[in-house]
Structure 1
Amino acid sequence: MVTDLLELDLLRTFVLAVDLDSFARAAEQVSRSQSAVSLQMQRLEEISGQQLFVKQGRGWQLTAAGEILLSYARQILDLNQQAIQALTATHIAGKVKLGLPADFAESGLPVVLAQFAAVHPQMEVEVTLDRQTLLLQQLQSGKLDVILSFGKEIPAAAIPLGYLPIRWIGNTNKNIAQLQPLPLLLFEPPCVFRSIGLAALEKAKRTWRPALTSGSVAGMWAAAQAGLGITIRTEIGLPAGCVALPASSGLPALPDVAVYMLTYKKTPSPAVKRLIDILYNTIEAQVKDITKNSHKKAPRRTRGHV
């Protein structure tokens, strides 16, 4: 039986000995004599209460217990390294530059910033809320480190976060979807939601008119809340007073849209990588939650096609 805590020093030597297939080479790596390494392995067997090695010819191989310990040893050493990196990272100063559509400003951004600040309290976060085309331009010029984006497809260099249903969104007035022509609250082109929505209406031979054209997501939400018309967006950041219209509204079904991240550097700095990890965990969970609830009430849709 295990009689003591597994010491990290013993586990490091154990993993090295297995990876190098030699006590002698492991001894060189840890700056010890071969006999000292052998004593370390004996100590590890005493602590674990198991035989970890068995002789095989002039060498040795792991027993079943040794294989089990090897798997856990790798995990323990990896977690130890992660803990050290996380604690060290709290002293890193500098700036990370994040760009994202305004849809995420109130829904995911506060969580992301809070978690990042807890890990990197000395880091300055510069947030840019803007249109996707402008965010991409700033990323390509190095003015941003990472951006969140929507798209019909996920680019090869992107980090995918999932797919969201595109919805017709208005206020609680159920009759607005029946108006002819349909009053639309549109984002200025180019806009993936605008092009997808207008293509769907054209295919359904449904007439429409622009009730509002805006470069601001907040402006479109405000117009939808006021009942000026219907906009085309996902349910990310959907404010109070706005609702996604059900299939019974008679409006054509819309496809899903991809949500993904793009980074300026293929190998980001540790701080940017940590921001990416937090963004991934936060936004992916949000996307999954919205998709699960939305598909229960929305018309059937396709993915990646208009």
Structure 2
Amino acid sequence: MKYELLVCREKVKQFFDPRSNISLLQSQVKPGDRIWFLESHLFWHPSVTVSQNFHNMLPSRPPLENKHFRKCAVVGNSGILFNSGCGKEIDTHDFVFRCNLPELEGHERDVGTKSNFTTMNPSVMFTYYKDFAEPKLKERFIKRLRRLEGGILFIPAFVAKSEKHHVQWTNDIILKHNINVRTAYPSPDMEKWIRRYWKSTEYRVARPSSGMWMYTFAASLCDEVHLYGMYPFDIDRYGRNIKYHYYDPRPFATMYGGHDMPIEFQVFKSLHEKGALRLQTDKCQASR
């Protein structure tokens, strides 16, 4: 393990340990308990009541308990992956993190198929599946969940009350269709822990994105961390235009939800130069 990655791992542990803190557990709450959302308003702080179904979805043991991996990939969704030919290389990693339930079908050559740990912002239910306005959209969502094939689905369920029904829909679908996936729901405190960690570093990132969350987890669990699809620009180093996401025509932006992606890219670039990760921003060797 590179020294800089070891330093990162030890410092992360001062704030939280993904092996034990990655999700709320059944033993930590019970049906009827209230959980407060991270968002707050001037005169009130919204909460949700833990249902029996939701309690059943919580893991009984930490999903990453006692886990350690030699080589991990953290895969973002930048258009830089389009025609990259990185799929086979990504799938050689011992553990693969993916961000925000991205589309894989039709893109396997560029992004691979392995999905050990996948985040899903509940907002994707509207952004990409239009709240199931058409039956085929619901079918596509179910098919996408099935491709996780026993992997961990990490759902930030307590960020905004407005996403409560999307979390419930997802859980209901997993149960009704007997989808083979392990669910994990970070405590509302998780965002505080990660923010405090990054503010304690020389980089002082104000609001880390899900990609930065995944790197933080990987740095704590893996001897090597390779980043793919973390490129928040609309032109590559050869002057070619690239899409915001490799799988959709969403308008390009460097700021989404308060995350400053170009600043995060500079952080990753600095960590790459120090040997704490390997940042892939070109075609992979197998495709050349």
- TM-score, structure 1 normalization: 0.21
Q: Which has the larger strand fraction?
A: 1
What's the TM-score once normalised by structure 2's chain length?
0.22
| Structure number having the greater helix percentage | 1
